[in-house]
Amino acid sequence: MGESLSQRKIRAKKILSIFKKQYDGAWTTLNYSTPFQLLIATILSAQCTDARVNLLTPALFAKFPDAKSLAAAPLPEIESLIRPSGFYKNKAKNIKKTAQIIFEKHGGKVPGTMDSLLELAGVARKTANIVLFHAFGKEEGIAVDTHCMRLSHRLGFTSSRRNQQKIEKELMAFIEKNEWGMYTNWMVLHGRKFCKARAPNCKECPLSRLCPKRGV
């Protein structure tokens, strides 16, 4: 017999309680000084590690620290600065266009609503959720990245492995709203430390007794 939604909610509370103790002070691992820099760094992190993005953004933000400067930046120069992030040509177009929209439509300030963020180039719900929570303290959804997808499925929280919208909807059904923002931060740290993609360390994992797919 499968786990009911109420049973899953109880198990999730136990797991998140462990996360709170295990990863006290957890936050996004992207380095930024302003909401705009967080937005750009998050766009660059698509299919790229946060560590690599953090190596690129100091030079990028030193030359183009805000929407006004990045909107006016030559595209080839942006491409050169972000090349190691992968898919750099498309990312360069997106961040330049996003900077232009923010400068022209929002007075140079990153908008603080889901709808406005989704109007920006290269921004989907994952990026919008990260920016809303870390820059504005708003919890409107759960940022579903690769760690979140992998761990949520292994923990038996979701039926899908790859459908980000479905995964987010399933998670939001039983995770308390005041924990939506931190959920992904905890998943990222736990995925790096214990629940790795190819060799999960179930033996030392503090969630082992609560995980239905340990060792899978």
Q: Which residues form the catalytic set? A: 126, 145
How far CA 48 is from CA of 42, 84, 142, in Å, comes to 10, 9, 19
For the record, the structure tokens of 142 come out as: 């759960």
Please answer whether residues 91 and 44 qualify as being in contact, where contact means their C-beta atoms are separated by less than 8 angstroms. Answer: yes
Q: What's the gap between Cα 174 and its chain centre?
A: 20
Helical pair 164-172 and 146-154, crossing angle rounded to 10 deg: 60
* Count of Cβ atoms closer than 10 Å to residue 142 Cβ: 28
